Amino acid sequence: MSSTFEIAEKAVRITCNMGANEAEAYVERRKVLEVFLERNDFKTVRVKWHVGIGVRAVYSKRVGFSYASSLTSSSVEEVCKASFKNAKLSPELKDWVSLPSPMPLPRVEGTFCNEIANLSEFQLVDLARRGYEAIFEADKRARCDDGKISAIIEETVIANSNGILVGEEGTAISGYIVCVASEAGKTSSFASSSGNARMLSQFKPEDIGREAALLAVRSLNPRKIGSFKGKVLLEWMPVTSIILPVIGFSVNADMVQRKSSLWTGKIGERVCSSNISIVDNGTIPGGMATSRFDGEGVARRITPIISNGVLENYIYDSYTAFKESKESTGNAGRASYASMPSISFSNVIFNEGLKSVDELVSEVDKGLLVGRFSGNVEPASGIFSGTVKQSVYIENGEVKFAVEEVMISGNVFQLLSGNVILGKPRRMLGGAHVPPILLEDVNVISKT
């Protein structure tokens, strides 16, 4: 059988031989081992083998794409043919310059773990057991609705007609657990917790089970509160669901070039509170999004996004960078071989504040501590509104009780420009490294 490198190079060669000016092949081999929990029990163990290839063909500034979950010679040829055909069908991208060229790649650490690569079904079941048992050790009122622990070993190779030929192997382990809690015939809302790591030694299934259980219990016996405008302390998960999408959209060079971003033309300007600093770092040791190269084979690097409230950089892939005669920031993300590259953060790291959640709570006269947000965020306008879950009412610096049927709304741009306090610790949720964040002047809306 051909090596992954050979297959990628061959696909590039075939596509160019058909008449393409440029070609790129992205080849993936993956093994996933999963334990799935359902209805408070272990449901199944899954072993999945997956291979695939995605080919981009460029013809007279026209780009076509095709993919297949097969690396046989005939499938590879079919994919090359389809991508070239699709390129010819696509109208010209007048700003197209070229695919990227080879460059030195950084060394990265903590992205491959032999123990994960060699994990047996039995060992994975044992990790799931540790997460599962932690639920009941934390609180007997909680039980597991569903959950999953997945171990992945993956090889990725990218070749293009400009001479890029790069590959790497990586491992990851991730898990989530969803709990509900019951007391006196009443059931809480779903509460979930997740965790992930590139190295087995850093993966703590107990923490996932315990946190999911405690969050579910925290939302028991909710009470209604009145509407007000005031302080809202977002825990880690709602920071990633409310604030991150808006910043991600606003610094995406594609959105900037299309003038859809409200931060278009604002490099060097103050865009939010001086308490906020954010860096995109694709090379941090052990980061979930850490790799030597991005989805186009461009070197991952460190890009300051916001420093003390001042906008420093947008994030680019090759297409948007070459449009401005710049270098890509190595932010071409790729969900899998079946998707084309698109701009996204690698590891996005917020600065950490000085105070813990408890300390921040103690400074709030009246407000809400939000564990989960379930709602809509318009990344372009920054407007968000939605229901809060696992959230508790704060009065005179103390957590009082869980709330029910409460929504929050506001505008992320306005809130981040107001009085913002970042807390600690910072937690890693996928590629996002975020602290809890205290915001002022958030609308808290209730039925009563």
Partner 1 sequence: MFQLSDVLSIMDEAFKRGVESDFTEIRFHRRRELSVIVRNGEVERVGEGFISGFCARSLVDGVWGFSSTTEISSDSVKSIIELSIKSAKALLGRSVRRVKLKDRKTFRDTYVTPMKKDPLNVNVEDMVRECLEVHKFVRSISPLITLDSINMGIVDDYHVYSSSDGSFIIQRIVRCSGGCSVTAREAGNIATGYESVGAQSGMEIFEETPLIGAAEIAAKRAVRLVNAKLPKGGYHTVVLDKDIVGLLAHEAVGHTAEADLVYSGSYLAGKIGVKIVSTLITLVDDGRFERGFGTMMYDDEGTPTQKTVIIDRGVCSGYLHSRETAYEMGFEPTGNARAWTFEYDPIIRMRNTYIEAGDHEFEELLEDVDYGYLLIGGRGGQADSTGEFMFGVQEAVEIKNGELGEHYRGVTISGNAFEVLGLVDAVGKDFTLRRGMCGKEQPNYVGMGGPSLRTKIIIGGRG
Binding characters for partner 1, 275-314, by CB under 8 A (x = yes): ----------------------------------------
DSSP result, 374-437? EEEE-TTT-EEEEEEES-EEEETTEEEEEB-SEEEEEEHHHHHHS--EEBS--EEETTEEE--E
Does 231 bind partner 1 (CB under 8 A)? Our answer is no
Q: Hey, which residues between 152 and 181 contact partner 1 (CB under 8 A)? A: 180
Q: 252, exposed or middle or buried, with CB in 10 Å at 0-12, 13-18, 19+? A: buried
Among 5, 13, 70, 323, interactor with partner 1 by CB under 8 A: 70
Q: How far apart are CA 134 and CA 137, in angstroms?
A: 5
Phi, psi for residue 343 in degrees, rounded to 5: -70, 130
Q: Hey, which residues between 79 and 98 contact partner 1 (CB under 8 A)? A: 79, 82, 85-87, 89-91, 93
Residue type, 411: N
Cα 439–441–446 angle (5° rounding)?
A: 105
Q: Hey, which residues between 250 and 269 contact partner 1 (CB under 8 A)? A: 258-260, 262
Q: How many residues bind partner 1 (CB under 8 A)?
A: 79
Task: Return the half-sphere exposure (C-beta side, CA atoms, 13 A cut-off) of residue 442.
Answer: 30
Q: Which residue, 258 or 326, has its beta carbon nearer to partner 1?
A: 258
Among 26, 65, 203, 249, interactor with partner 1 by CB under 8 A: 65
Q: How far apart are CA 177 and CA 131, in angstroms?
A: 8
Among 129, 130, 266, 424, interactor with partner 1 by CB under 8 A: 129
Among 60, 114, 183, 229, interactor with partner 1 by CB under 8 A: 229
Among 7, 12, 54, 353, interactor with partner 1 by CB under 8 A: 54
Among 374, 418, 419, 425, interactor with partner 1 by CB under 8 A: 374
What residues are paired with 146 via a beta bridge? 38, 178
Does 48 bind partner 1 (CB under 8 A)? Our answer is yes
Q: 424, exposed or middle or buried, with CB in 10 Å at 0-12, 13-18, 19+? A: middle
Q: Hey, which residues between 387 and 426 contact partner 1 (CB under 8 A)? A: 387, 389, 404-405, 407-409
Among 25, 368, 412, 444, interactor with partner 1 by CB under 8 A: 444
